[in-house]
Amino acid sequence: MGRRTQVSASILDSDLANLSRETRLAVKGGANRIHLDVMDGHFVPNITFGPTVIKRLRPATRRPFDAHLMISEPGRYMDQFIAAGCDSITFHVEVEEPIEPTLLKIRKAGVLAGLAIKPATPLSALAPYAELLDIVMVMTVEPGFGGQKFMYDAAAKIGPAHDVFRDRPGERPSAREVHVDGGVNRASSPTCGAGHAEVLVVGSLLWKKGNDIEREIRAIKALADEARKTRSAPAPAGVAG
């Protein structure tokens, strides 16, 4: 309701030799937050950076850092990601290790906790963790690389993803954010807005030669906000059906 669409800028395809500068450019261009894609070469066939780089980048901006961990063992490295200064930490529901203790650890540290789902994974996979989630990250590409095409069938999960959240009695209410990650551009942002996504991750588009970061972010936000206005909000949890 009322809330405007936020953009989290993914620096995956930026000039990684100048991460501080790129981060500041994204913020200057209107990015509300910074999306950090961590890949281990095991969960996905690509390797990027880890908590040490995030920690070194932290002073570049006061905007929130959203870590997106595409790694097989998030539990093993969680202390380091928390210590690196992430404001939210999202890992994948498809990992083959216990998920709940890691979500609890993130929340205990006062950091927003999220689970990401690959395009083929149903929302029902998140149900066991409903009370522990601040963020649901709907992947609209196969994780691993920037610059892929937006998958509209996966985007059908954006609206219903809002029904996943359940606050724990007696605990701080969840921030309840649905993030959409992968292939977000001017053509796909209305679909994200229509699903009332709170945060759109925008990556390669910002760093393409000749593209104006500010203009891209402004257009994507405006198109999403417009679609959000014209299409009604998804039914609140517990009301649908």
Binding site for ligand DX5 (CB under 6 A): 10, 12, 35, 37, 68, 141, 143-148, 181-184, 201-205
Q: Give the C-alpha distances (Å, rounded to integers) separating 32 from 66, 128, 135, 156.
A: 11, 30, 16, 25
Q: Which does 141 bind (CB under 5 to 8 A by kind): ligand DX5, Zn ion, none?
A: ligand DX5
Of 148 and 226, the one with the shorter C-beta distance to Zn ion is 148
Q: How far is the CB of 139 from ligand DX5 (least distance, A)?
A: 7
The tokens of 196 are what?
A: 């009332």
Of 132 and 141, the one with the shorter C-beta distance to Zn ion is 141
**Packing angle, helices 100-108 and 74-83, rounded to 10:** 10
Query: Which residue number is nearest to ligand DX5 in terms of Cβ?
Result: 203
The tokens of 194 are what?
A: 């229509």
Task: Name which of 200, 176, 177 is nearest 188 in CA terms.
Answer: 200
Specify the stretch interacting with Zn ion by CB under 5 A; choose among 68-76, 94-102, 119-127, 212-220: 68-76
Of 182 and 234, the one with the shorter C-beta distance to ligand DX5 is 182
Specify the stretch interacting with Zn ion by CB under 5 A; choose among 19-27, 60-68, 72-80, 98-106: 60-68
How deeply is 210 buried, as exposed, middle or buried, from its count of CB atoms within 10 A (0-12, 13-18, 19+)?
exposed
Specify the stretch interacting with Zn ion by CB under 5 A; choose among 63-71, 149-157, 158-166, 207-215: 63-71
Residue 70 DSSP class: E
Q: How far is the CB of 36 from Zn ion (least distance, A)?
A: 8
Dihedral-angle region of residue 147 (phi above 0 means left; psi in -120 to 50 means alpha; beta otherwise): left
Give the residues across from 152 on adjacent strands. none
Of 70 and 234, the one with the shorter C-beta distance to ligand DX5 is 70
If binding is defined by CB under 5 A, does position 37 make contact with Zn ion? yes
Of 88 and 204, the one with the shorter C-beta distance to ligand DX5 is 204
Helix or strand (DSSP H, E) at 84: none
Catalytic residue among 37, 66, 134, 163: 37
- Which residue among 22, 181, 198, 216 contacts Zn ion (CB under 5 A)? 181
Amino acid at 20: S
Is 181 known to be catalytic? yes
How deeply is 156 buried, as exposed, middle or buried, from its count of CB atoms within 10 A (0-12, 13-18, 19+)?
middle
Task: Name which of 17, 141, 122 is nearest 70 in CA terms.
Answer: 141
Q: How far is the CB of 119 from ligand DX5 (least distance, A)?
A: 11
Q: How far is the CB of 36 from ligand DX5 (least distance, A)?
A: 9
Q: How far is the CB of 143 from Zn ion (least distance, A)?
A: 7
Positions marked catalytic = 37, 181
